[in-house]
Structure 1
Amino acid sequence: VTLANWVAKTANLWQDGLDVEPGQRVAVLLPPHWQTAAVLLGAWAVGATVTETLPASAVATDEGRLAEVLDEDGAPAVLGLSLHPLVARLPRPWPGVTDFADALLYGDEFVAYTPPDPAAVALEAGSLMLTAAGLVDAAAAFVTQLELSATDRLLVDVDLARDAGPVAWLLAPLAAGASIVLCRNADPAALPRRAESERVTVTLGLHVDGVRAAGG
């Protein structure tokens, strides 16, 4: 299943399973991860406004924050992720929580009931607010700044990616047509071998001898 398939499945889950509508706030409380990419892109496909804070109409989070989210007033629609690489279900069921693994039940194509408005706010991150069109422009600017191309395989430090935000770690590489390799708790001694095995051509937030640093 490709990322495009997962985005379509997740968008269908947001729209039909959790009743998310254009303009609604969707809090994505997740670390950088390929499933987070599907959650973000699926929410934007519906036309939602992605945020990193509560309150929100819907929330996507991992098990570590489910109790916190469920204690929120207003009972948002909640999507829970195990973040297991093979999309295993949550270790135990949570009342009122839709398991991300349910996305497998949804279709591989997505059509929004209401096409997203390019001028609508798509991302709120602190004081930063970007429209859907603004996301496209910001991603293109990062492609230039990071000097990315379609032949690149970008090794990204997860901690830096979390701080930099989804435009830098997700949308810019996608806009360039590059591949993304997320690296958590990187062991500097093991990085050269990791970079070689992953055929990395450029890094973001990590140093590997002989490999170009993005924007460097």
Structure 2
Amino acid sequence: MNANDRTPADLLRSALASDPGRPLVTFYDDATGERVELSVATFANWVAKTANLLQGDLAAEPGDRAVLLLPAHWQTAVWLLACSSVGVVADVGGDPASADLVVSGPDSLEAARACSGERVALALRPLGGRFPQAPEGFSDYAVEVPGQGDQFAPYAPVDPDEVALVVDGVELTGSEVVARAREDAGRLGGGGEAGAGREAGEAGAGREAGAVGVRVLSGLSYGTWEGLSAGLFAALAGGGSVVLCRNLERLPEGGLEKRVGDERVGVVRR
């Protein structure tokens, strides 16, 4: 973490400069058995490609509003940082009818059609797979993103004091996102107090909670700040990593405790 970081994209750049090979996001989907692990470098590459797609093919500009109709997923995390890189407002679960563009998962395509601007669809299939046939009226993210550039440079500087994120109806500037993320990272373990982020009664939780770089397992929705922070932003701000779990309720008895141990999780949020 760099004290001069003022946007979420800045946090990612600092993480990339300090330790590109460390794990950042490990994603599980317990409905499909999928597990994906992304290092800082791999995650940043996806962000750069997606930001190039946003700024280039989709002609998004700073201040444009992108409604994200997506679950807590590693590709959603990529879109959140890509929006920050361009200066586009990431409106999580907002109204597509008032958006400049919409990014939708397979379960929200009909709602997404209310957007009169650009529409992008994510199949959310294992290994970032594409739709068997792209939904009518949408670009298939898995088709469009691979050919994008691996380096990104915004056409205009991103203002940290402009709105960067809307979640649960609350607008946050880039600098406010960073400040909140830093505070949360401290509570999760970066503040130096042993057990700071432990969830009471959770087997194995808190093992690493006295140190910067805590590994957080989150089964929370991205529809609240708590879920976004536990599932992405606090890890970026605190030099940690996240085990992001979708359909966590599908785990068999004892499965959560095993995952906590296997993934060396320090804090559990669900």
How many residues align? The count is 202
Question: Distance between the aligned counterparts of 2:141 and 2:233, measured in 1?
Answer: 22
- For residues 199 and 167 of structure 1, do their structure 2 counterparts lie closer, same or farther at Cα, with a shift above 3 Å needed? closer
Find out whether 1:27 has 2:67 as its counterpart: yes
The AA in structure 2 aligned to 1:133 is S
1:108: how far off?
1.1
Identity, in percent, stands at 38
Asked whether the 8 Å contact 2:167–2:223 carries over to 1, the reply is: no
* Residue deviations 1:2-57 (CA, integer Å, cap 9, x gap): 00000001100111111111001110111111110111100111001111212200
1:82 Cα deviation from its structure 2 partner: 1.0
Query: Which residue is equivalent to 2:55?
Result: 15
For 1:106, which of 131, 143, 148 is the aligned residue?
Answer: 148
Counterpart for residue 49 of structure 1: 89
- Equivalent position of 1:211 in the other structure: none
In the TM superposition, residue 157 of structure 1 has moved relative to its aligned partner by: 1.1
The correspondence for 1:80, drawn from 114, 121, 143, is 121
**Partners of 1:135 and 1:167 within 8 A in 2:** no
Separation in 1, partners of 2:128, 2:214: 27
Paired AA for residue 65 in structure 1: S
CA contact (8 A) 2:72 2:220 kept: yes
State the Cα distance separating 1:125 from its structure 2 match: 2.2
Shift of 1:154: 1.2
> Counterpart of 1:181?
243
Corresponding residue of 1:167:
229
Shift of 1:138: 1.0
Q: Is the 8 A contact 2:188 2:267 kept in 1?
A: no
Question: What TM-score, normalized to structure 1?
Answer: 0.86
What is the CA distance between 1:93 and its match in structure 2?
1.3
Give 5+ residue unaligned stretches, structure 2: 1-40, 191-210
Once residues 119 and 93 of structure 1 are traced to their aligned partners in structure 2, the CA distance between those partners, rounded to angstroms, is 37
Aligned to 2:219: 157
SS in 2 for 1:183: strand
1:31–1:158 contact (8 Å) kept in structure 2: no
Q: CA RMSD in A?
A: 1.7
**Which residue does the alignment assign to 1:5?**
45
Q: Distance in 1 between matches of 2:169 and 2:218?
A: 24
Task: Give secondary structure in 1 for the equivalent of 2:66.
Answer: strand
Give the match for residue 102 of structure 2: 59
Secondary structure (helix, strand or coil) at the match of 1:138 reads: helix
Map Cα deviations across residues 100-122 of structure 1 (whole Å, 9 max, x no partner): 11211101110000111111111
Distance (whole Å) between structure 2 residues aligned to residue 63 and residue 109 of structure 1:
28
Distance in 1 between the 2:160 and 2:213 partners? 29
RCO (CA 8 Å, sep 6+): is it higher in 1 or 2?
Answer: 2
The TM-score with structure 2 as length reference comes to: 0.70
* Kept after mapping to 2: 8 A contact 1:155/1:203: yes
| 2: CA distance, partners of 1:105 / 1:38 | 16
Residue 177 of structure 1 and its aligned partner are, at CA, apart by: 1.4
Match of 2:46, SS state, is: helix
Distance 1:100 1:178, change over 3 A: same
Check if 1:200 corresponds to 2:240: no
| Letter of the structure 1 residue corresponding to residue 42 of structure 2 | T
The answer for unaligned runs of 5 or more in structure 1 is: 206-216
Secondary structure of residue in 2 paired with 1:64: coil
Q: Aligned pair 1:134/2:176, yes or no?
A: yes
TM-superposed deviation, 1:150: 4.2
